[in-house]
Amino acid sequence: MTGPREGFADRLTALLDAAADRSAPLSFWWRDDDAVKPTLALDRLLALAEASGAPLCLAVIPARADRALTDRLAATDATVLQHGWAHANHAAADAKSAELGLDRPIDTILGELSRGHQRLQRLFGERFLPVLVPPWNRIHPDVADHREEVGLAGLSCFKSLSTEAHRLDTHVDPVAWRSGGGFIGWEAAAAALETEAGRRTDAPVPIGILTHHLVQDAETWSFLETLLEVTSDHPGARWPRPEEAFDLPRR
């Protein structure tokens, strides 16, 4: 009798088999949020990326990142993206959390993002790709429209299949945030991937996998391990480099 993990692997394999038969592999990309310093969880994440060969994008919080993270990533292939400035909520008490809404003057917000861009450039050099990842995946359109003024050409939020230049969202989040954390479940994870594959008949946008290494439980780690195992060598799966996926040059 197969268990839920094996059932998930079988359904994902079937998706990839079908993509390979069509000579239209499914593309994937991977973003992990909230990195600030080395931890055992980060070590585990980096080990999975190295073993699978899947390019990992770390959304780093500029105001809280330290030199120890620079040193830890030095011997890895991880790409650094900019996760806002301080991951601080400035929304009204009755509104959803947001750092990049217009609850403050836009010049203040852009000034913080500029400081963040400069700090990550200093800490990570060519490892840093100028992509803005809004905390809580929320950003006011006016802030998004002005991000390039502070050197952030790219943008990554959640769920959109936008074909806007240099924008690439994530689409599958295995953490059950609305029920207090933990794993969403093998059935929900398989269904989410099947849904995303079905959305790509006319828009060949990579399926973005969103993880949070600091909060993942054992089953969420198991999901990630299984996903990477199944996709790493399958002809129906492709993992483009981040600079290719965002169409952005390294600096």
Within-domain flag for 247: no
* Predicted local confidence at residue 143, as pLDDT: 98
* Predicted local confidence at residue 202, as pLDDT: 64
With bands split at pLDDT 50, 70 and 90, how would you rate the model's confidence at 218? very high
Give the separation between CA 48 and CA 177, rounded to whole angstroms: 23
* Predicted local confidence at residue 56, as pLDDT: 98
Q: How many domains does the chain have?
A: 1
Within-domain flag for 32: yes
Indicate whether 204 pLDDT > 90. Answer: no
From residue 195, alpha-carbon distances to 151, 201, 222 in Å are 34, 11, 21
In single-letter form, the type of residue at position 45 comes to L
If DSSP codes are grouped into helix, strand and coil, which group holds residue 79? strand
Structural domain boundaries, residue 50 = 4-234
Give the separation between CA 50 and CA 71, rounded to whole angstroms: 17
Within-domain flag for 244: no
Q: What is the pLDDT of residues 147-202, one digit of tens each?
A: 999 999 999 999 998 889 999 999 999 999 998 889 999 999 999 999 999 988 76
Hey, CA dihedral for 37, 86, 240, 41, is it positive or negative?
positive
Q: What is the pLDDT of residues 3-47, one digit of tens each?
A: 999 999 999 999 999 999 999 999 999 999 999 999 999 999 999
Give the separation between CA 194 and CA 13, rounded to whole angstroms: 11
Mean of pLDDT values over 42-54: 98
Give the separation between CA 100 and CA 89, rounded to whole angstroms: 9
* Predicted local confidence at residue 137, as pLDDT: 97
Indicate whether 1 pLDDT > 60. Answer: no
User: For a pLDDT cut of 70, what percent of the chain falls above it?
Assistant: 98
From residue 49, alpha-carbon distances to 16, 69, 76, 174, 250 in Å are 20, 16, 9, 17, 20
* Predicted local confidence at residue 163, as pLDDT: 83
**Inter-helix orientation angle 4-21/218-232, to 10°:** 30
> Residues with Cβ < 8 Å from 102, sequence gap 6 or more?
109, 140, 142, 143
Within-domain flag for 173: yes
**Inter-helix orientation angle 40-52/218-232, to 10°:** 20
Within-domain flag for 208: yes
- The region of weakest confidence among 51-55, 129-133, 246-250 is 246-250
* Predicted local confidence at residue 2, as pLDDT: 77
With bands split at pLDDT 50, 70 and 90, how would you rate the model's confidence at 251? low
Model pTM score: 0.96
99 burial level (CB within 10 Å; 0-12, 13-18, 19+): buried
Give the separation between CA 4 and CA 11, rounded to whole angstroms: 11
Looking up residue 221, the CATH number of its domain turns out to be 3.20.20.370
Q: What is the pLDDT of residues 110-160, one digit of tens each?
A: 999 999 999 999 999 999 999 999 999 999 999 999 999 999 999 999 999
Mean of pLDDT values over 94-102: 96
* Predicted local confidence at residue 40, as pLDDT: 98
Within-domain flag for 80: yes
Within-domain flag for 251: no
Q: Which helix or strand (DSSP H or E) is residue 56 part of? A: strand 56-60
Within-domain flag for 113: yes
Which backbone phi and psi does 213 adopt, to 5 degrees?
-60, -25
